[in-house]
Amino acid sequence: MFDKLLFNDITDVLKSDLGLELSTSDLRVYSYREWDIFQKTRGYINKYGVFKPRFMTAHVLDSSISNIIHEHIGHRIFFEHSELGLELRRLESELANLEDGIVSGNLKSGSLQLVYSPLVKQRTIQNKNDNILVTYNDDDLVIKNYLAMSQGVKVLSNKHIDTIESFADWITDFLLRRLQLDKTNKVYANNPMHSEKFDRLLKLESIFGPLSSIYDCGIRKSSNPEIMVSLLKEHLKDDYNSIKYIFQYGSDRPFSDRDFLAVVKNKDADKFNRKVFPNYLDVSFSSEKDFIQGLRYNDLHYTIPLHSGKILKGDIDKISNYKDLIGRIDPTFDGLYSGIFKDYITPSEKDLSLCRKYFVDRKQLALKYSYDFFMQSQLPNTDITSSAKCVYNALTNLSYAISYNYDIESSKTLSFCKDQKYFDAIVADESSDLSRCRKLIKNICVQNYIPITHEYVCLFNKIL
């Protein structure tokens, strides 16, 4: 039986395992007789439940716990915590306002029924079986606007129905297993059309844990450090134990990716740098040697995580001592041009020489990883998903390599590409740092999807 005690158990699991909390809880449970009447009055056929995002209300036949969890919990999470769900709710709210205007605020219950008739001179409104019947003609622009918007909402919802329903199926299955409920409640995809996505979510959970399943469906990401540690452990498995320090930095917005810097033992750097992560996890690895050297050169790749990041793993006292290393060799190109380090001191030729070598070496390393990822994506046996991840990682490393190209005389960070067709030059002035430069370059790469075949190799040749 679905009662308050079970609901409390479910909310506890959602918070502890997934970092999610529910802010609405409206549930209407119907007997078979009541459900038959409800379906007929609302025009539903052979359904066991329906969730109305406009009112955040689940209407459910009292047939099984899994059925109630699917509608009441699964859909509620999606429409409270996913970017798509929140957008659909916003559009539904706009539709509700339009409906209220059409019937002059008389739509208290029931539903709105629109009937087109070229014979009526103006809009007519009448009650019919607890619903409101509105007749309109060609001149009624308000209703035409409403119908166009309503159709747009339906198209958007239907386009993503696979994700919406499969997520509700998966969260139901997860909660039944997690709470060890009756095995007869085992969930299968409600519709065979959704089974492929449902199976994918089950597979992601089995390999990388439940957080990967919900983030794959666009659910907001937690800002809780413990949840992020759990996510990294699922992806890194036993390798997590050999990492010395982990910093989480960058944006903490609910639908942005999560940025991490992990510092590893010098001998393990190559192994970690070849790991592939989903696009919502931006994890970069550094050897301890490169980390220390990067701090001395004021490299933003290291100083930003150390200054503004959350420490997820590592000795806090030792990490605080690393801050004393920042800027020991001063200045660097990153430091001079980022606008973060304000005290400008004219560099000696020796300083410039050291900086040139440092950033050239980093550029070569980024290019190497980028090219390796690209070649891996082209292997004949690589599936589409793995290939896409490889291309994404190739673009990320390529953007880093490009951002290390300095025009020393004009103080510019240049983006290189064939005929400058896809990239504009990015000037690293006081309002633009390397972090933004790299992100912009990567976004442009992804949007234009340029470096896929021969052009990619040509791009390397030009940068080299």
Do the domain assignments include residue 98?
no
Please tell me whether residues 77 and 209 are part of one structural domain.
yes
Does 371 reside within a domain? yes
pLDDT single digits (tens) 358-412: 556 666 666 676 677 777 776 777 666 666 667 666 666 666 666 555 443 333 3
Confidence at residue 272, expressed as pLDDT on a 0 to 100 scale: 85
| Burial annotation 327-366 (CB, 10 A radius, 16+ → b, else e) | bebbbbbbbbbbebbeeeeebeeebeebbeebbeebbebb
pLDDT for position 303? 81
Residues 396 and 454 in one domain: yes
The pLDDT of residue 86 is 95
Do 292 and 350 share a domain, yes or no? no
Name the percent of the chain lying above pLDDT 90.
36
pLDDT at 347: 46
* 57 has pLDDT over 90: yes
pLDDT of the residue at 457: 41
Residues 437/442/445/446 CA torsion (nearest 10 deg):
-140
Of 308-317, 370-379, 444-453, the least confident: 444-453
Same domain? 312 vs 394:
no
pLDDT at 344 over 80: no
Over residues 324-337, mean pLDDT: 50
Mean pLDDT, to the nearest integer, of 67-88? 95
274 and 368 part of one domain: no
pTM above 0.85, yes or no: no
Q: What is the pLDDT of residue 109?
A: 57
Tally of domains within the chain: 3
Q: Is the pLDDT of residue 73 over 90?
A: yes
**217 pLDDT more than 50:** yes
Question: What local confidence, expressed as pLDDT, does residue 389 receive?
Answer: 65
453 and 358 in one domain?
Answer: yes
Is residue 52 in a domain?
yes
For residue 315, tell me if it sits in a domain: yes
Domain housing 81: 4-86+160-216
Is 354 in the same domain as 291? no
Q: Are residues 229 and 316 in the same domain?
A: yes
What residues pair up with 259 in beta bridges, in sequence order? 249, 282
Tell me the C-alpha distance between 461 and 431, whole Å.
31
Please, which residues bridge with residue 57 across strands? 26, 52
Q: Look at residue 182 and tell me whether its pLDDT is greater than 80.
A: no
Of 168, 192, 216, at which residue does a domain stop? Answer: 216
Decide if 132 is inside a domain: no
394 vs 334 pLDDT, higher one: 394
Of 456 and 225, which is predicted with more confidence? 225
